[in-house]
Amino acid sequence: MSMNIKRPNGTEDVIPKNVHKWHTVEKITKDIAESYGFCEIRMPTFENTELFMRSVGETTDVVQKEMYTVKAKESEFTLRPEGTAGAIRAMLQNGLLNEALPQRVYYILSCFRHERPQAGRLREFHQFGIEMAGSLSPLADSEVISLANAILKRLGLKNIELYINSIGCPNCRAKYHEALRTYFESRKDELCETCQGRLVKNPMRILDCKSKICQEIGKDAPVILDYLCEECRNHFENLKKHLTNLSIEYKVNPKIVRGLDYYTKTVFEFVTTEIGAQGTVCGGGRYDGLIEELGGQHTPALGFAMGIERLLLLMDKQNCDYLVPKKCDIYFATIGDAALEKAVKLSVNLREYGYFAEYDVMNRGLKAQMKYANKIGAAFTVVLGDNELKSGNAKIKEMTKGEETEIRLNDKFVDSFEEVYFNNILSVIDDTEVNE
């Protein structure tokens, strides 16, 4: 009996006709990150489970409910649920933090969380992320937010709002935790089972709970901004000044706590209402204690991550422009074995110069080959048969306008093709200017 094997639930295939959309996001994010001085880093897909327990936090949904963990003999590994912990581990292990500061890295990677699949939320998803280590200054915070803002603008996205908050440092947060415990204690029995445990260990996590009941109970909870120490308050006020100086619009949302425990002081989100419940397309903040928690010297750090699937959902929704997919530059339609051999040699030569050249490998007739050339959107076609081989000349046809030009089939073929190719490009530009 034949098997009907499908991809796992919560995963997606990126087929060739859509991959140019991914290339667009990847190119723009990389180009802008590098213009801000960030360099690419690549990490393993899985890490020792302890890394995420210590960094992400034992009371988070990610650790308690969503991680994919594998035991292999005496070892335990976890598929990365996010990028920051692995990036910081790699920076520490490879001595990057001993070099000139700040260290700036970016990455594009797949992450894994066992969540209920829906639009914009997958079990395997992809992120573009950055990390900056070494600076305490709120200017670094505004720099990171500016980078995210620049990417969203370059992608052509609109109607996205930036929300910022400060969740303070461990000192002022301790007082806030006590205020939250006092607030939630009177309604403890109404909280979900997970949040009843959080009330003791980390009451701020209750504010991030997905349960509608817990969200309703937490609606009037105390806000962290009322409990900030002087240092944290000054940091937040200076961040707002820097954002204003950069003409970046923002709103203060005291309910933002982010879903991971390593955050301190600044947290932020870029949010849209156009793709349903999963409207956060970028989230990040500062995590000044994480490097020390993972065994390094105390080093302030911050960063963000963008969900690529969510960006693409929004780009499709807003009809944003993508890079043009690469199409066939020239297709050789052949009659007979000798003509096919010539097409193979000419194609190999063209490919050495970066052109996309094709010829028939399906043993089709001439009519079927031309139909195929149309279907794949070939820019030019050349028909090769005995007459063309004998004369050493062939007709190259520009497929959009139907114009034909004679071309020599000698060792200067690539030069001749380039002349026809670039003349056609100039012709298209001239036509566009006339139409405008």
Query: Of 215-224, 295-304, 373-382, where does mean pLDDT reach its minimum?
Result: 215-224
Asked whether residue 324 is domain-assigned, the answer is no
Same domain, yes or no, for 417 and 338?
A: yes
Residue 257 and residue 119 share a domain: yes
Give me the percent of the chain exceeding a pLDDT of 90: 75
User: Tokens for 228?
Assistant: 């900030």
34 and 149: one domain? Answer: yes
Q: Is the dihedral of CA 128, 16, 376, 378 positive or negative?
A: positive
Q: What percent of the chain has pLDDT over 70?
A: 96
pLDDT at 427 over 90: no
Average pLDDT, the chain: 92
Among 288, 317, 346, give the residue marking a domain's end: 317
**Confidence band, pLDDT 50/70/90 cuts, at residue 435:** very low
Q: What is the pLDDT of residue 434?
A: 40
By CB neighbour count within 10 A (0-12 exposed, 13-18 middle, 19+ buried), where does 338 fall? Answer: middle
Within-domain flag for 433: no
- Give, in order, the Cα–Cα distances in Å from 202 to each of 150, 226, 302, 363: 35, 18, 22, 68
Residues 140, 106, single domain; the answer is yes
Same domain, 300 and 209: no
Give how many domains the chain has, as a whole number.
3
Last residue in a domain, options 282, 317, 352: 317
DSSP-assigned letters across all residues of 287-311 = -TTHHHHTTS----EEEEEEEHHHH
On whether residue 241 sits in a domain, the answer given is no
pLDDT computed for residue 426 by the predictor: 62
Long-range (24+ apart) CB contacts under 8 A made by 337-341 are 338/386, 338/389, 339/384, 339/385, 339/386, 339/388, 339/389, 340/384
Average pLDDT of the residues in 199-218: 86
What does the pLDDT look like over 41-98, one tens digit per residue?
999 999 999 999 888 876 676 877 789 999 888 789 999 999 999 999 999 999 999 9
Cα–Cα dist 219/215, whole Å: 6
Q: pLDDT for 263-286, tens place per residue?
A: 899 999 999 999 887 789 999 999
Domain for residue 283, yes or no? yes
Q: Is 280 in the same domain as 344?
A: no
Which residue, of 286, 317, 348, is where some domain finishes?
A: 317
Domain contains 429: no
Mean predicted confidence (pLDDT) in 406-413? 94
- Strands 103-112 and 39-40 come out as parallel
Q: Which domain holds residue 292?
A: 16-169+247-317
pLDDT at 259: 60
Domain identity same for 165 and 175: no
Which helix (DSSP H) or strand (DSSP E) does residue 47 occupy? strand 46-48
Q: Give strand pairing partners of 304.
A: 130, 284
Residue 219 DSSP class: G
CATH at 296? 3.30.930.10
Tokens of 352: 């050495």
Q: Are 212 and 360 members of one domain? A: no
Same domain, 147 and 51: yes
Q: With CA atoms as reference, report the closest residue to 302 among 147, 136, 131, 168.
A: 131
Are 131 and 272 part of one and the same domain? yes
Write out pLDDT tens, residues 298-318: 999 999 999 999 999 999 999
pLDDT at 359: 98
Under a CB-based contact definition with an 8 Å cutoff, are residues 384 and 344 in contact? Answer: no
Residue 433 has pLDDT above 60, yes or no: no
Mean pLDDT of all residues in 218-234: 93
Give yes or no: residues 86 and 97 share one domain.
yes
Does the residue 373 lie in any domain?
A: yes
Residues 348 and 417 in one domain: yes
Q: Which residues contact 370 (CB under 8 A, 6 or more apart)?
A: 333, 381
Q: Is the pLDDT of residue 157 over 80?
A: yes
Confidence band, pLDDT 50/70/90 cuts, at residue 116: confident
Do the strands 380-384 and 75-79 form a parallel or antiparallel pair, or are they unpaired? Answer: unpaired
CATH number of the domain where residue 378 is located: 3.40.50.800
Q: Which of 184, 157, 168, 140 is nearest to 232 (CA)?
A: 168
pLDDT tens-place string over residues 324-358: 999 999 999 999 999 999 999 999 999 999 999 99
CA distances from 270 to 157, 191, 261, 427 (A): 11, 29, 19, 43
In a domain? residue 21 = yes
Say if 218 falls within a structural domain. yes
